[in-house]
Amino acid sequence: MPAIKVGFIGLGSMGRPMAVNLLNAGTTLMVHNRSQQVVRELEDMGAEAATSVEQLASQCDRIFVCLPNEETCEQILMGDDGVFANVRAGTIVTDHSTVSVGLSKKAADHASRAGAKFLDAPISGGPSGATDGTLSIMVGGNEDAFNAALPEFEKMGTNVVRFGDTGAGTAMKLINQLLTCIHTVAAAEAFNLANSAGVDILKATDLLQKSFGGSTMVGRSGPITAARDFENSGAPMRNLIKDIGIIMSMADEMKLSLPTGTAAAEILYEGRDTGLSDHDIAAAIVPIETHSGG
């Protein structure tokens, strides 16, 4: 029986290391990306380069995409030259992007019409988790398709959970991102208080991680904030700005009150409006400092 051929589209700060982990685990892999430099890098490591989405979609048994925003995701998956216009019947297509539940359900409908199967499987763990192969992967979709794709998931993550039918994985990721946005801004607020009170941020971070006030975002943002090392980040603020926008739209549709989410969104949007979108998420402290007179 021939080896399963896996395709991967989107080789950014998350997708590239995920694809590398698939390669390192012996996967027969074809890759495609808008920037060809990274495609050539993976080709040198043993991947097959695809010159188009059409080529990859028509030749692979499993297709994974990891894309930066909803517009790109819709174009790559559902465009005239996209995955579902060219996919073979029976192929399992997995979207690792952070998008709305509505877009995941729309993708599943397109997959069904093409005779393919679709899994929404957003990820958490950042570039370090993608590199280490320790991502959390939150999956929605058909259970048989999930079980079939599980060997590939387990090459990229260590915490792989199917939450239910189509959209359940995306919903879980948005729940995670709501907390990430809130905790990022809360950590920034706490570090602004520490600076103002003359408390060393690195010492505070160490203590907080052993106390009730600790969080993943306190732990990651503390050293970055202490060093003011906000530029050239693998976790830019624009990612949270995108995600909180999706979350707030979802809350509006469901008529939910998200008071701390709303407060976090205000800080993140102010960061966007003052030119911080490409800075690390820890730069959420900057608008807080501005309001504090810092």
Percent of the chain with pLDDT over 70: 99
How far from 9 is each of 14, 15, 29, 95, 258, CA to CA, in Å? 11, 8, 11, 10, 34
69 touches 62 (CB < 8 A) = no
Pull the structure tokens for residue 240: 């949270």
Q: Are 261 and 244 in contact (CB under 8 A)?
A: yes
What confidence score (pLDDT) does residue 1 get? 58
Q: Residues 105, 106, 173, 203: which is the catalytic one? A: 173
- pLDDT at position 260, please? 98
Give the separation between CA 274 and CA 289, rounded to whole angstroms.
13
Q: Which two tokens stand for residue 183?
A: 């905790």
**CA–CA separation, 115 vs 121, rounded Å?**
19
Nearest to 3 by CA among 209, 115, 127, 151: 151
Q: Is 173 a catalytic residue?
A: yes
- pLDDT at position 293, please? 77
The pTM assigned to this predicted structure is 0.94
The DSSP result for 236-274, as a single string, is: BHHHHHHHHHHHHHHHHHHT---HHHHHHHHHHHHHHHT
Segments of the chain with pLDDT less than 50: none
